[in-house]
Amino acid sequence: MQSFRLIRPRTAQEAVSAAAQGGAASRFIAGGTTLYDLMKLNIERPGQVIDITGIGELHRIETAGEELRFGALAPMSAVATDAVVSRDHPVLAEALAKAASQQLRNMASVGGNLLQRTRCPYFRNGAGGVYPCNKREPGSGCAAIGGLDRSQAVLGTSEACTAVSPGDWPVALVAVDAGIELLGPNGPRSMPVDALYRLPGETPQHEFTLAPGEMITAITVPRRNAGRLSTYHKIRDRESYAFALASAAVVLELEGDRIAQARVALGGVATRPWRAPAAEQMLAGQRLTPELALAAGHAAFRDARAGHHNAFKLELGARTVADALIIAAERRP
């Protein structure tokens, strides 16, 4: 790890100003569970690190209004166990609780977690020149394509990159049409969480749509989009403390015994948090049966493309969606 300048601003405005001065080599650090990790791997090499955890205004959790509002620096564990979130919004609480470990959830912030970088082993192992990676060294090639691709994405891939977007929380937020508030050199703005993520295309090094020097200050969730008939279902290579092989965030709104609206998003299988409109359309207006749930799951993967070792993710992903739909529906009072 090379040395860096450490700055510890007290306000969001100070942080953004410091970032503007620091230029491209500047990084914000909150929990550090991604950035410091990648610095130790010599993959992130910032010249300036701005520790934003001292900015008190960004820690607040507000759950009283029609919109839930989470300050970007609220720890994942705090939001997961917030009384309102854990009681009324299981898809959010479960996505947080099934991520990483309690140690890491205490460190990681809900804003920083949106910017978690891929766990593709070819990306993480590359420093030192072993494996080419277009994300790490643009233009160097992708070792995962044609390589050991069991964990790689089957949705949203390109000829340049198949790296999975590893998060759980962003998947849940995309499912509930959450938004983010940003502060940058040109002032504040907001946008849907969904708009934060890019597809890899030919430039997999560009993962997010943040402008230079821009920071996430809050996450907003329309309360009615994340109701009690919801779940985040996650299948891993072990029971806990692992990244998803496949996951599904599901929220159901029922009218009588029929689904008025279903919200479905996928994790562990795509290059970005992945909304599944084909599945949602198939479910709308229908009575949920195990057969329909599975059909909706398969619909979610209609456009998927498998590599050598990850074809199982199409079936696993579909069944994960099906189980999530059934779990969510069973939460009917």
Binding-site ranges for another protein (CB under 8 A): 1-6, 8, 29, 32-33, 36-37, 39-42, 49, 51, 53, 75, 77, 81, 100-104, 106-107, 119, 121-122, 124-125, 127-131, 143, 147-148, 150-151, 235, 237-243, 245-246, 294, 312, 315-316, 319-320, 322-323
* φ, ψ dihedrals at 31, nearest 5°: -70, -30
Q: Which two structure tokens, joined as six digits, stand for 88?
A: 């009324």
Distances (CA, A) of 156 to 183, 273, 298, 313: 29, 10, 16, 14
Residue 15 or 178: which CB sits closer to another protein? 15
Residue 129 or 256: which CB sits closer to another protein? 129
Rounded to a whole number of angstroms, the minimum distance from the CB of residue 278 to another protein is 20
Q: Which two structure tokens, joined as six digits, stand for 51?
A: 């520790």
Rounded to a whole number of angstroms, the minimum distance from the CB of residue 302 to another protein is 18
Rounded to a whole number of angstroms, the minimum distance from the CB of residue 255 to another protein is 27
Q: What is the DSSP string of 184-236?
A: ETTEEEEEEGGGGBPP-TT-TT--B-PPTT-EEEEEEEEGGGS-SSEEEEEEE
Residue 73 or 193: which CB sits closer to another protein? 73
Residue 41 or 61: which CB sits closer to another protein? 41
Rounded to a whole number of angstroms, the minimum distance from the CB of residue 46 to another protein is 11
Rounded to a whole number of angstroms, the minimum distance from the CB of residue 83 to another protein is 12
Tell me how far apart the alpha carbons of residues 198 and 157 are, in angstroms, rounded to a whole number.
11
3-state secondary structure (DSSP) of residue 39: helix
Residue 40 or 302: which CB sits closer to another protein? 40
Burial of 79 (0-12, 13-18, 19+ CB in 10 A): buried
Rounded to a whole number of angstroms, the minimum distance from the CB of residue 25 to another protein is 14
Residues in the chain: 333
R_g of the chain computed on alpha carbons: 19
Q: Which two structure tokens, joined as six digits, stand for 117?
A: 């970088």
CB 117 within 8 A of CB 133: no
3-state secondary structure (DSSP) of residue 330: helix
Rounded to a whole number of angstroms, the minimum distance from the CB of residue 316 to another protein is 6
Residue 40 or 258: which CB sits closer to another protein? 40
Q: Tokens 């969904």 appear where?
A: 194
Tell me how far apart the alpha carbons of residues 281 and 119 are, in angstroms, rounded to a whole number.
31
Residue 124 or 263: which CB sits closer to another protein? 124
CB 167 within 8 A of CB 267: yes
CB 133 within 8 A of CB 119: no
Rounded to a whole number of angstroms, the minimum distance from the CB of residue 73 to another protein is 12
Rounded to a whole number of angstroms, the minimum distance from the CB of residue 45 to another protein is 9
The letter for the amino acid at 74 is A
Tell me how far apart the alpha carbons of residues 22 and 5 are, in angstroms, rounded to a whole number.
9
